[in-house]
Amino acid sequence: MDSLGILLILGLAYLASKSTESTSNNSENSVAQINSRLLSQVNPVLAEKAQTVINQMANLGNTLIVAEGYRTNALQDKYYAQGRTTPGNIITYKKGGESKHNVGKAVDFDFIIDGKQSNSNSNNWTLLGKIAKSAGLIWGGDFKNLRDYRHVEI
């Protein structure tokens, strides 16, 4: 192979590495953008404390995404119907207007694992709970009726 061929291969390898780097940064930016957008829709005190949790978890190597913040009464009623009048497991005991999500005082987190959003059981939920409580939040993992590990509220 001549020197031009080697330069071409090296150039293509360089461009491929930049493309992967760019995709990774875009993924991180999109998580940050989603978090920013959803936190802008909740109570400012909650938003600040939730961002503290996100930052502290990131410092420990965990990426969090806000899965849900403010929730309409209609959506809350839909969640309430699940496991009662619609298929699925019961996921809430709160009807529309009764949830702290309805007034912007609660958020649900998911982890980003291997580039994908996940709310499956994770050993990190307990860590999330400890950090959330240290930030002055109420953690859903401490709820008595329905433990909600993803949930924090003020």
The closest alpha carbon to 107, from 74, 65, 135, 61, belongs to 65
What is the spatial distance between Cα 55 and Cα 28, in angstroms, rounded to a whole number? 13
Reply yes or no on whether the pLDDT at 31 is more than 70.
yes
Torsion of CA 70, 28, 129, 45, to 10 degrees: -40
Both tokens of 24, joined, read 């990774």
- The pLDDT score that the predictor gives to residue 28 is 56
pTM of the model: 0.79
**In this predicted structure, which of 20-24, 32-36, 120-124 has the lowest mean pLDDT?**
20-24
User: Would you say 150 and 139 are in contact if contact means Cβ atoms under 8 Å apart?
Assistant: no
Task: Tell me yes or no: is domain 3-69+104-153 CATH 3.30.1380.10.
Answer: yes
Please report the pLDDT score of residue 14 as a whole number. Answer: 37
Q: Does residue 25 have a pLDDT over 60?
A: no
Q: pLDDT per residue over 100-146, tens digit each?
A: 999 999 999 999 999 999 988 677 999 999 999 999 999 999 999 89
Average pLDDT, the chain: 86
Q: How far apart are CA 27 and CA 123, in angstroms?
A: 23
Q: Are 123 and 60 in contact (CB under 8 A)?
A: no
CA-based Rg of the chain, rounded to a whole angstrom? 20
Contacts 24+ apart (CB under 8 A), 15-20: none
Confidence of residue 22 (pLDDT cuts 50, 70, 90): very low
User: Which run of H or of E encompasses 6?
Assistant: helix 3-39
With a pLDDT cut of 90, the percent of the chain lying above it is: 77
Q: Is the pLDDT of residue 9 over 70?
A: no
Rounded to 5 degrees, φ, ψ at 66 are -75, 115
Report how far residue 83's alpha carbon sits from residue 24's, in angstroms, rounded to the nearest whole number.
38
